[in-house]
Chain A
């Protein structure tokens, strides 16, 4: 039988993954592991922040994972993987030097050009910080293109907080306001306590010139949207990234469908005025 490198047919097959090498890996929390990956064939993944890839563990299966890096940073991409099922559990056993299969990138991703020249408010809860981080890093790497940047980050407990070192770095930046809260604090925690929506009391929003990027679990999304809308941010300036059980990534297998939209193709990033009409969206 011919192999991938010998068969042009196979190289074209949308179901056949390319190989990626893990060049950096570390645990972010007890449940989440971080990977930096470089494509083995030397052809970098041509991606936008907010897109996702299907990661293969050969013989175990595939899982859709958001890219958490920005293409402004180099010829690699990064993933944050929560241990939740068979594939992700196996991924947690992998380390620097190991190989995974990669299909994609899939989806529309964030459009950093569309929010240029505006204030950007990020509201990221839990694992939602991973996809949001791609755009956050883009904005910091092109900082002059954007006006005021505000980051609201929420986690269930201090131990669940992702990218703690980076968040500290963001907090020390003079060109942005970064607020962090946890739902349930412990004795070591000196920061904000309570759900992420409570942070809205501490910030000022200029609704006419602000885009709000909201990524997090459905319950957080519902309430965070209410906050930004009540501040007067227009619905088409509220940007969210939806989670779905993507399988093929090609708009065929049906898993990610919401009404007549394939989230793996037209999404996962939508504006709220559109998501609202989908009704089954959130």
Chain B
């Protein structure tokens, strides 16, 4: 086993989860310019929905995935209506507090319903694949995670770049008022963006529960990673979110492997602070390029 290659692979797997979350985050931030603090909690809801459908109702995995997507979309719809819509004209702080409140409610309801234990969709040892290059080890679930990250990134890019909905979203992101004078239904676009963003977060949660197991308190850590991944290359950019997520995962694992495992979580804070201090618009200043 080549250690450098294995650490990179571990980083890619963790980074893929961050990337999926960051992509969803970029979408909702892009159209509204407001941070959805319930994004991490939505991810956890996805994990528990997958667990409930597969373990408690014994449904096949593909139906469960559809269920997870729907649950995420529904939650996204509700979060936007409850935590963002009433505060459209208020200072950004209002939406921060209201979405944070929603996140806390979700976390505590999950803890009350499912208990405090960790739920794992695949307890025990997942099937191990040895990749021919450098003898790197990867489980089937991890391969799935990386593939889903690339798939989600590709699909979101297609939706934004090639569909009417996407073009309208870009218009709303650029200037909501101007877009509305052109007949674009601004509130509908914002709603749609939140539904898509949250269903993507829910899928990330489901993948986490396959690989690592999920518990009701994981949301905050997830939100923080999604935010940092976004900040690295500029908040609101889709390619930036994908690259940022992967880079963050790899950085965390390299720091843990070659500096000290004690600094693994701390390095995320360090990255965030450095980028905000030195390049507040992100390393590549992708922020103003909206979704592109």
Is A bound to B? no
